[in-house]
Amino acid sequence: MIDIVFQLLIFFLLSAKFIALEGQLASYLPKDRGLQAAFSKIEPDEVIFFLDWIAEESNIMTGTVRCQTINYKPPGDSSGRDYEFPSVDAGGTRRIPYSPNRKLVQYGESVDMPGYQIPDFDLIEGYLLHRHQLYETKGSGKSIPVTINVSDQVPMQMVANIVDICTRIGISNVTIAAKEVPID
Amino acid sequence: MKKRKKTDDNFEVKMEMTPMIDCVFLLIMFFILTTQITVNIEDVVLPFALEGKVQQHKDTNELMLILNVRKNRKNAKPSDRSGEIVYQARVYNPKELKAKLDDEVAYDAAPPPRGRGRTKEEGPNGVQLSRLEILIRYDKSVRSEYLRQIFEQCQKAGIYKLKLATTQPEG
């Protein structure tokens, strides 16, 4: 009898922890776009990121993740190009501080994934916070829409980082879109 | 003295069978149950994120489909970083995934004998939205092509609640 009780106890302990160790980031597709995803409208205040993968010529395993955004001109920039966030070297097994508690994280792992140049996520976070606060002063009561246009080769971790930043700031309206060519 | 020696010779070791059977049953039970649980969960290195919330399910109403995107194991160059979408231990291409999601949405909305009977939500412009939630377990080094495919198919199927599985960063 006691044996069986212990078995049940152990079983429930183990099975309850099985999935619970994983965190979950909520992201919701916009409700109103519904079935016509291909013809979605761009809201004037929407933040749009373009993530691109630029492979290195000498070593095809590594490269640069380029992050651009439209609707933004830093002060003093008179060129007509989309703003591009500066890169940080996360090559090899280098550990990069990741906000807000400056925890050191590692992007490259092994031979299969030797690390790459990443956009500066601190700047992205600052920029998103700025845009979020501007949007809130308008008082629509909704969260600012963020769209991540990601090209096929970009590693998943980059998308997860941006969704993570959005969750931290309190932006719930994050969408992943098909690759579109930025308008120059 | 003599008498005592005699009893020592007659001493036999009896094997207790009951705990043994207990153990065997335990092992059997353990393997049956764990294999059922792990059917939906592939071996995937999840991306890290600080804000990932560990969620406990409060009731069975909040059920979740689990889509996995794992590294492609067959004839793939590592430099492609290609992967495959796996649902319930089966690999899906986008078209099949759409059909499967449509099935799941229909099952979710159908009245009880043939489904769960959770009526669809009404979105803006009269769009019918499913109450289904999808958890995406995506390998962090796989290219994000499949994420877009999943989002597209979910949007077509009328599912808008999506979640990304994450872990806490190491160190």
The predicted-structure confidence for B70-99, as pLDDT tens digits, reads as follows 888 776 676 778 888 988 888 998 889 999
The Cα A113–Cα A150 span in angstroms is 19
Which residues of chain B from 92 to 121 reach within 8 Å of chain A, CB to CB? none
The Cα A67–Cα A161 span in angstroms is 12
- Compute φ and ψ for B80, nearest 5 degrees: -75, -25
Give the 3-state DSSP-derived string for B5-49, with helices as H, strands as E and coil as C.
HHHHHHCCCCCCHHHHHHHHHHHHHHHHHHHHHHCCCCCCCCCEC
Cis geometry, peptide bond prior to residue A100 (ω within 30 degrees of 0): yes
Model pLDDT for residues A127-153, shown as the tens digit of each residue: 889 888 888 888 777 788 888 888 888
ipTM surpasses cut 0.85: no
Model pLDDT for residues A23-56, shown as the tens digit of each residue: 778 777 766 554 444 445 566 778 888 888 888 7
Percentage of chain B modeled with pLDDT above 70: 81
Q: Which residues of B touch A103 (CB under 8 A)?
A: 50, 169, 171
Write down the CATH number for the domain with range A26-87+118-177. 3.30.420
Cα-Cα end-to-end distance for chain B: 69
Mean pLDDT of chain A: 76
Which region among A10-14, A113-117, A123-127, B18-22 has the lowest average model confidence (pLDDT)? A10-14
Higher pLDDT, A124 or A115: A124
Which residues of chain B from 59 to 78 reach within 8 Å of chain A, CB to CB? 69, 78
Q: Is B168 exposed, middle or buried (0-12, 13-18, 19+ CB in 10 A)?
A: middle
Q: Is B98 exposed, middle or buried (0-12, 13-18, 19+ CB in 10 A)?
A: middle
Q: Residue A36's pLDDT is what?
A: 47
Domain locations along chain B:
2-38, 64-164
Q: Which residues of B touch A176 (CB under 8 A)?
A: 144, 147-148, 151
Higher pLDDT, B112 or A22: B112
Higher pLDDT, B6 or B87: B87
C-alpha B56 chain-centroid distance: 15
Model pLDDT for residues A158-173, shown as the tens digit of each residue: 888 888 898 888 888 7
Taking an 8 Å cut-off on Cβ atoms, the answer to whether B140 and A160 are in contact is yes
Asked if B54 is an interface residue toward chain A (Cβ–Cβ < 8 A), one would say yes
Structure tokens given for B5: 């020696």
Q: Which residues of A touch B143 (CB under 8 A)?
A: 53, 152-156
Higher pLDDT, B123 or B7: B123
Q: Whole-model pTM?
A: 0.75
DSSP A13-80: HHHHHHHHTSEEEEEE--TTTTT-GGGPPPPTT-EEEEEEEEE-SS-TT-EEEEEEESS---TT--S-
Q: Residue B11's pLDDT is what?
A: 76
Model pLDDT for residues A48-90, shown as the tens digit of each residue: 888 888 887 777 777 888 888 877 777 766 676 778 888 888 8
Asked if B167 is an interface residue toward chain A (Cβ–Cβ < 8 A), one would say yes
CB B139 within 8 A of CB A156: yes
- Residue among A60, A155, A178 whose CB faces B140 most closely: A155
Taking an 8 Å cut-off on Cβ atoms, the answer to whether A34 and B33 are in contact is no
The Cα A89–Cα B122 span in angstroms is 46
B3: pLDDT strictly greater than 60: no
The Cα B141–Cα B69 span in angstroms is 11
